């Protein structure tokens, strides 16, 4: 059986926003990274909040070889889960992550840039709205930009080509089931 590969007549770098209170925003973005790698596209993932608790994607993306790189720049989730770092340290880390975003975005080396949990960083005032809007304004035309995290700002949503809201129907946590490796982290 022959498999057809579709090619758009005109390539366009999309802005995709994944938001909402349900589980699956980062997982969806990782699925896009996997799909892009299947097309031999180069992907850069920058995680804004994660960094103090191991997550399987850190080693999983290594299996994709040189096509996908992941930078976990955060010090964990600011203000929750017993995170010991003050807001000022989280903000400094997020500001450094923004410098990495600019460097990677403007390098011309990537087809897809995933900014994981950047919506949370904005909501927690670790970064500012004008900084996120500058990323959108400076995005190269053919670069796909994926933005994840709860509470996406309305101005960010209004600039999206595709936006999806992941809503919780039920969650194992509410049944006193601990997070499970490979599914939750």
Per-residue pLDDT averaged across 145-168, rounded? 97
Could you tell me if residue 115 is inside a domain?
A: yes
* Mean pLDDT lowest among 74-83, 86-95, 117-126, 144-153: 74-83
pLDDT in the model for residue 2: 84
Could you tell me if residue 4 is inside a domain?
A: no
Could you tell me if residue 114 is inside a domain?
A: yes
Could you tell me if residue 86 is inside a domain?
A: yes
Global pTM reads 0.92
Residue with more model confidence, 164 or 4: 164
Residue with more model confidence, 83 or 19: 19
Domain range spanning residue 23?
A: 15-167
Per-residue pLDDT averaged across 152-170, rounded? 97
Domain count, the chain: 1
Could you tell me if residue 26 is inside a domain?
A: yes
Angle at 40 between CA 108 and CA 166, to 5 degrees: 85
Q: Report d(CA 151, CA 92) in Å as an integer.
A: 21
Residue 79's CATH number: 3.40.50.300
Q: Report d(CA 11, CA 178) in Å as an integer.
A: 43
pLDDT in the model for residue 81: 63
Q: Report d(CA 124, CA 91) in Å as an integer.
A: 9
* CB-neighbour burial class of residue 44 (10 A; exposed 0-12, middle 13-18, buried 19+): buried
Could you tell me if residue 179 is inside a domain?
A: no
Q: What is the pLDDT of residues 125-151, one digit of tens each?
A: 999 999 999 999 999 999 999 999 999
Q: What is the pLDDT of residues 51-82, one digit of tens each?
A: 777 888 999 999 999 999 999 997 777 666 66
pLDDT at 15 over 70: yes
Structure tokens at 167: 């809503």
Could you tell me if residue 156 is inside a domain?
A: yes
Could you tell me if residue 185 is inside a domain?
A: no
Per-residue pLDDT averaged across 90-108, rounded? 96
pLDDT in the model for residue 79: 65
Per-residue pLDDT averaged across 153-170, rounded? 97
Share of the chain above pLDDT 70, in %: 97
pLDDT in the model for residue 182: 86
């Amino acid at each position: 059986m022959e498999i057809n590969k579709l090619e758009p007549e005109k390539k366009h770098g999309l802005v995709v926003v994944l938001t909402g209170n349900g589980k699956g925003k980062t997982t969806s973005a990782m699925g896009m990274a996997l799909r892009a790698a299947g097309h031999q596209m180069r992907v850069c993932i920058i995680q804004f909040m994660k960094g103090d608790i191991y997550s399987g994607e850190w080693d999983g993306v290594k299996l994709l070889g040189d096509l996908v790189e992941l930078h976990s720049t955060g010090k964990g989730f600011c203000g929750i889960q017993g995170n010991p770092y003050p807001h000022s340290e989280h903000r400094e880390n997020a500001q450094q992550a923004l410098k990495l975003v600019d460097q990677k975005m403007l390098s011309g080396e990537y087809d897809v840039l995933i900014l994981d949990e950047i919506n949370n960083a904005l909501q927690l005032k670790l970064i500012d709205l004008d900084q996120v809007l500058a990323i959108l304004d400076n995005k190269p035309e053919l670069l796909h930009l994926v933005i994840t995290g709860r509470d996406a700002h309305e101005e960010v949503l209004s600039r999206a080509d595709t936006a999806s809201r992941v809503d919780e129907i039920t969650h194992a946590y509410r049944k006193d089931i601990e997070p499970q490796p490979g599914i939750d982290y």
